[in-house]
Amino acid sequence: MSEPQARGVDSPREPKGAGGDWTDERGARNERTSEEGPPPPAARQARSRLTRRPEASGENTASGEDTWPFYGYPRSSRGGREDPHERRRAEHIQRHRERGTPPPRRDRGLSREEIVRAAIAVADAEGPDAISMRRIARELGAGAMSLYWHVSSKEELLDLMVESIEAEIEVPEPSGDWRADLGAFAHRTRAAMSRHLWAMEFMGSRPPSGPHDARNLERLLALLDGPADARLTMDIIGTVATYVMGAVMREAQEMRVQRDQERAVKGLTEEEIRASGERYRAWFEASARYPRIVRLMEAGIDPDDPATRDERFQFGLDCVLDGIAARLNA
């Protein structure tokens, strides 16, 4: 099974009437004759979504690898929307790039890696809505037009950001112990998603965004080569990923509530805080309707205790892995 099929997508094909030079999944070129003139804007947009330039995906073109073959679906999510004015800027520079025009001297100091790092930093601090080419240019002290010489669109920038996070995760090579390997994948994904909460809106919902993403998927598929078929393998991967993302969302909620509570008691003495807790507990005891909640309070168990966060994550992961083992052994 190919990677596109694993993510539920067919290999890309050139749309009828798109015209222009394009690169298919084998790297072959389809040359437009000069008499036909430049393709219309709609065709250029369709063509630009078909393939990713080798340098955009980080592939080593010197080694003869094909260009990245996956179709770039337009995102309907809030973070993926591109301003029409910015899209016109991108199309203008794209025409220059297609003709082989080098960037102006002032724009040559930027790099794609710098742009991606700056975009991730903005998203980490403010969320995906804050991402725009103009904003990232301002963070870098550059003009908005400068970015388009290195990244063709906001859509591509988001793919490159996701690809960078996939590199952080780095699914381990299969060791022969699927449970240990899935556990390592879960912990690495949890760590990356905790650093980049915004990315949960974009991870795993599209075909692989680049070589790191594809490598991770390929290794995940290999973890269960023996005991599971393709359908069951994908269901298992999805189950583990869903647990991890749900746990990360829950942990983020806990941390947010903890900050709110700290602000609420700021300025109170330890005695005042303790008295408030005792009044809360006394109310439940007096009601006589919630004996189990009272016993929980008496046991001193805080279900959101930061000190038990890792332990609670591992408990839930073990439950998921136990269920997978039972299914594989059935």
Exposed / middle / buried, residue 200 (Cβ in 10 Å: 0-12, 13-18, 19+)? middle
pLDDT in tens, 70-106: 555 566 555 555 566 666 655 555 555 565 555 555 5
Q: Among residues of the chain, what percentage have pLDDT more than 70?
A: 67
pTM of the model: 0.72
Count the Cβ atoms, other than its own, within 10 Å of residue 60: 10
Residue 310 reports pLDDT greater than 80: yes
Instruction: Encode pLDDT of 170-192 as tens digits.
Output: 999 999 999 999 999 999 999 99
Measured CA to CA, the distance from residue 302 to residue 308 in angstroms comes to 9
Give residue limits of the domains in the chain. 8-13+39-167, 170-329
| Residue 232 DSSP SS3 | helix
CB 212 within 8 A of CB 163: yes
pLDDT higher at 106 or 314: 314
**For residue 238, what are its two tokens?**
């999805």
CATH number for the domain running over 8-13+39-167:
1.10.10.60
CATH 3.40.50.300 matches 170-329: no
Q: Is the dihedral of CA 114, 117, 123, 125 positive or negative?
A: negative
Q: Please give the Cα distance from 165 to 161 (Å, whole number).
A: 6
- In angstroms, rounded to a whole number, what is the distance separating the alpha carbons of residues 314 and 192? 16
pLDDT of res. 21: 38
Q: What angle do CA 159, 162, 167 make, to 5 degrees?
A: 125
| Dist. CA 163–CA 60, nearest whole Å | 15
Which of 83, 102, 244 is CA-nearest to residue 157?
83
